[in-house]
A and B are shown apart, each in its own frame.
Chain A
Amino acid sequence: MIQQLIFTIVTLATIILSYRAYSFIVKNIKFGREYELIKDNPARWKTMILVALGQGKMFKYFLPALFHLFIYVAFIFTQIELLEILVDGFFGKHRIFALPLGGFYTFIISLIEILSVLAFIATIVFLSRRNIINVKRFHKPEMKGWPFTDANLILLGEILLITGIFLANSSDLVLQTRLPEHFHHTGQFAVSAYLAKYVFSNFSTGTLLVLERIGWWLHLTVVYGFILYLTISKHLHLIFAFPNTFFTPLTPRGKMENMPVIMNEVKSMMGLTEGGEDAMEMSEEIPEFGARDIQALKWKNILDAYTCTECGRCTDNCPANITGKELSPRKIVMMVRDRADEIGKKLRSKDEKYIREDLKTEGTKLTIENFDDGKSLFDYISDQEIFACTTCNACVEQCPVLINPLDIILQMRRYRILTDSAGPSDWMPMFTSLENSGSVWQMQEERDAWAK
């Protein structure tokens, strides 16, 4: 009874806390602007099934993909056992699926155990890649501090979870021979049968009863902990990879987002508009073009940012980064996420000091529309970074969860050039030449001189 009560309290607390944490993230994503989406659902589902569910792009890096697959498949199948834990915990039962499923139950739990062993091996491999082999891309500047700890914490969490599974299963198998009334027959599980025979059978019944409960509660609490922890971790990708691949634009990769306001203005300048259309409303305020902060980015850019696994394949393949430039596509994405988090936190503080000066009147509430903390994305991302990009799309090509770092970079470039009239001075002669002569170089000769 007490266990049922604790179970119910812990479960309810997890539901409430995670609802809060996840709704904050959803709000942060919605700070981004709406934009035109191609809503071809069959194509979107196909992408999601291939890339998120099927891990289609992971295998560009074969070994990490294989080990990641172990953890991923183990994770999916373990949900069956988790489901049983939830039902057992709520109704105060023990292994409620065992009797109705019979031999199939033994098979499923054995499969989970084998996958857990593979996942355990993978976890050790990943821990050593990060801490012993020191794979270069895990030690770039943006990975210092929390991102590095985060990756290790989740791996340690996985080890705890696997430990829980084997503690519960192995103790259970021995207890089945000693207290068959409560610990009813389940058949021998593939891995814990051996642990039971060679290790756990040496323990007293009292010890085993405790170990079985520790294992059971460990499994449950690590999972609940995960659910909450994901909201502050790169491991959010295990949920967000699905919506993120689903909402990935279906437009051609080489197409930059059009800016209709500018298009229409240029059209009216050139006398290309048909009657009525050219009546452009020019407001007093100079319009802002491009992205200075996350509110001007698309909401998908922010969803991208929360989906980032910090794997660094983008940076690993970025020609600018490889040749020692400051630009790291991964960092761009991480900074968008951190900035979204920061704005979300400040808004929740309801502190009036974040209201933009000119919009501050008695009783005004802080909202995303009047928010101003004197900072912007440019406090996190330098001009050197955004102007080092060659738009080669290697980052876009590499991302296993279809994040587009380039799209963020180009929107920030647009802000610098169009709104700030800043940017690399080398480009000024190019712009002048394009404006005056329609050619990227200022040339005296005729355009068809080559053919003469």
Chain B
Amino acid sequence: MQEELNVKTMAEFAAEGKEPDILYWVGCAGSYDARAQKVSRAFAKLLNKAGVSFAILGNEESCCGDPARRAGNEFIFQMLALQNIEVLNGYNIKKIVTACPHGYNTLKNEYPELGGNFEVIHHTQFIEQLIADGKLDVSDNKYAKSTKVTYHDSCYMGRVNGEYKAPRNILNSAKIEITEMERSGVNGFCCGAGGAQMFKEEEKGDKRVNEERANEAIGTGAKIIAANCPFCITMLEDGLKAYEKEDEIKVMDIAEILSADLDLGQ
């Protein structure tokens, strides 16, 4: 049995005549993918712990449209995006946090031209701020302190949106030392999921992109690969399986590492 997460939807807030401080954009992966759902729960626990008043859209949320747009299907992208913007504007949403770099990028960079203007924050940036504000104390690290950790930059937070520091700062705050992979930061190597590759077979080649990356992570000797994107997590876990390392090495979202640290469960 899980403990009560107490996550409320915007509709519930509205029915009570209240407004949350922030909307948590869960995204398709965070909502439906069994692995990413754990990240959603871990992040919700952190938000609760920090006393943040937040809501989700629940069934009123649709896919942000990133995979459709990058697969070339602008019609479907526009349908999804305009629908979402209608809902978000209807609730007068100003501030959005999301644990998905693809949703982050689309909402932040692509919705404005369609009439959706929001302050969009990635969950690693939000957590970094909670720590800085003293709302989340991670200094008494219990979980990953003595474990070797490497950090995988997602393309859409890293190269695309220039956010390399927030996830690393969080790990540093938790006194976790990062053993960097050779290709990191601006040279970070893709997990293979972006551009809607997640939803198709790879084109013909010598090996899979995720296996190449997993192998690089294995090379650091890390026992935890910290990530900040649900698609990266899936890809890297699959990549580890190719080397039969899935039991030895864990791929964890930053929120999951902190949640474990704070004894909130994984």
* Chain A contacts to B: CB under 8 angstroms: 60, 252-256, 258-259, 262-263, 266-267, 269-270, 272, 289-290, 317, 319-320, 322-327, 384, 387-394, 396-397, 410, 413-418, 423-424, 426-427, 430-431, 434-435, 438-441, 443, 445-452
Among residues of A, the one whose C-beta sits closest to the C-beta of B73 is A417
State whether the Cβ of B83 lies closer than 8 Å to any Cβ in chain A: yes
- Is A262 a contact partner of B78 (Cβ separation < 8 A)? yes
**Can you list, as one digit per residue, whether each of B40-56 has a CB less than 8 Å from chain A (1) or not (0)?**
11001000000000001
- Is B110 a contact partner of A256 (Cβ separation < 8 A)? yes
Among residues of B, the one whose C-beta sits closest to the C-beta of A443 is B32
> A258, A269, A391, A445: which has the most chain B beta carbons within 10 Å?
A391
- Given contacts A256-B69, A390-B193, whether A323 and B212 have CB atoms under 8 Å apart is yes
- Given contacts A254-B161, A263-B78, A431-B68, whether A324 and B192 have CB atoms under 8 Å apart is no
- Is B56 a contact partner of A451 (Cβ separation < 8 A)? yes
Q: What residues of chain B lie closer than 8 Å to A427, measured between beta carbons?
A: 71, 73, 196, 199-200
- Is B72 a contact partner of A451 (Cβ separation < 8 A)? no
Q: What residues of chain A lie closer than 8 Å to B65, measured between beta carbons?
A: 434
State whether the Cβ of B14 lies closer than 8 Å to any Cβ in chain A: no
- Is B78 a contact partner of A390 (Cβ separation < 8 A)? no
State whether the Cβ of B248 lies closer than 8 Å to any Cβ in chain A: no
Question: Within the complex, what minimum Cβ distance (angstroms) separates B81 from chain A?
Answer: 9
Among residues of A, the one whose C-beta sits closest to the C-beta of B84 is A438
State whether the Cβ of B203 lies closer than 8 Å to any Cβ in chain A: yes
Question: In the docked arrangement, what's the CA distance between A441 and B32, Å?
Answer: 8
Q: What residues of chain A lie closer than 8 Å to B139, measured between beta carbons?
A: none
Q: What residues of chain B lie closer than 8 Å to A392, measured between beta carbons?
A: 155, 159, 190, 194-195
Among residues of A, the one whose C-beta sits closest to the C-beta of B9 is A448
CB contacts under 8 Å to A, within B192-209, are 192-197, 199-209
Question: In the docked arrangement, what's the CA distance between A443 and B61, Å?
Answer: 14
- Is B28 a contact partner of A441 (Cβ separation < 8 A)? yes
Question: Within the complex, what minimum Cβ distance (angstroms) separates A255 from chain B?
Answer: 4
Among residues of A, the one whose C-beta sits closest to the C-beta of B33 is A441
> B33, B58, B190: which has the most chain A beta carbons within 10 Å?
B190
3 nearest interchain CB pairs?
A: A324-B206, A438-B62, A391-B195
- Given contacts A267-B82, A441-B32, whether A431 and B76 have CB atoms under 8 Å apart is yes
What are 6 A-to-B residue pairs whose CB atoms are below 8 Å?
Answer: A254-B106, A326-B203, A440-B67, A441-B33, A448-B26, A450-B31
- Is A450 a contact partner of B114 (Cβ separation < 8 A)? no
- Given contacts A253-B160, A390-B155, whether A326 and B189 have CB atoms under 8 Å apart is no
Question: In the docked arrangement, what's the CA distance between A430 and B69, Å?
Answer: 12
- Is A319 a contact partner of B156 (Cβ separation < 8 A)? no
- Is A448 a contact partner of B70 (Cβ separation < 8 A)? no
State whether the Cβ of B187 lies closer than 8 Å to any Cβ in chain A: yes
